[in-house]
Amino acid sequence: MDCVINVFKEKGYTSQDVVSICKGILKTKKIGHAGTLDPDATGVLLLGVGKGTKITEYLMEYGKTYIFEMCFGESTDTLDLSGKVNGFSEKNYDKEKLKQILDDLNGQTIEQVPPMYSAVKVNGKKLYEYARQNKEIKRKSRKITIYDIKPLYLLENSCIIKVNCSKGTYIRVLIEDIAKKLDRLAYMKSLIRVNSAGFDIKDSIKIESLKKCNINDVSYSIYDSLNKMDSITLEDNLYKKITNGVKVKVNYINTDNIKVVCNDKFIGIGNITDNILKMNKVFDICK
């Protein structure tokens, strides 16, 4: 069973909970996910099964799209609805200024500092473990990219926003930063991931449904899951060399990651430099 499954993560589950449950359903130990969702968040959680675990790192490189609601007037220690209130401000906000802030963020690469309540590790320990001990740890900022962000609904004391962003983006921190520019406090009331690496929420499957269906009807091949990656087809006589990791000469532009097909099989993912193809991951499976 080598595939990718688009699971709908429901509220209350951690991403690892979903992995553990699906290991039982599919009767396999080899499952990994492509991007953590907080327990209170819902939406698309991509699972790599079998050799599909080898491509989760590539799937995480692609953009993700979220819809979130931010509520003004309070802040919490976790920056979301589950935390303890630790500050108050006016509940109303300048809607025109918010539109301008979002417009200015479009297409921008910015610095973000991971929140204390997160799974980022410092000195081998997760930040939320320090936070639960009331310890504040110095964190390094990270570069993230906001590809597109726009308001969907501007309500009296809250707003609903849609954002397409790079991996590693903390929506809770984005909300905090937006609120600061409005001279307000705010927290994340809800978050739903509607797309990840080209997989849409409308095609996702709930865990309960996964228990009852034929896995072949809801899974995607490893080759098709890498739908944003270019591919190259080699001559059949190169099959033995390429599957044994031998570098081969090709007529192709320099490419960091490319799907390699040979002998009607998806061989794996390679890099091309100066017309030399070197394999990084070998699957040798049917497309």
Residue type at 252? Y
CA angle 121, 55, 32 (to 5 degrees): 55
Nearest CA among 30, 36, 34 for reference residue 15: 36
Residues 6+ apart with CB under 8 A from 269: 55, 58, 226, 229, 257, 258, 259, 260, 279, 280, 281
Helix (H) or strand (E) holding 146: strand 142-154
Q: What number of CA atoms fall less than 13 Å from residue 46's CA on the CB side?
A: 30
Structure tokens at 212: 């009852």
* Catalytic residue status for 38: yes
Length of the chain in terms of residues written:
287
Instruction: Name residue, tokens 């479009």.
Output: 106
Selected catalytic residue, list 2, 17, 38, 80: 38
Residues 6+ apart with CB under 8 A from 154: 95, 98, 99
- SS3 call for 263: coil
Decide the pairing of beta strands 276-286 and 265-273: antiparallel
What gap in Å lies between CA 122 and CA 230, rounded to an integer? Answer: 36
What gap in Å lies between CA 252 and CA 161, rounded to an integer? Answer: 41
Q: What is the set of active-site residues?
A: 38
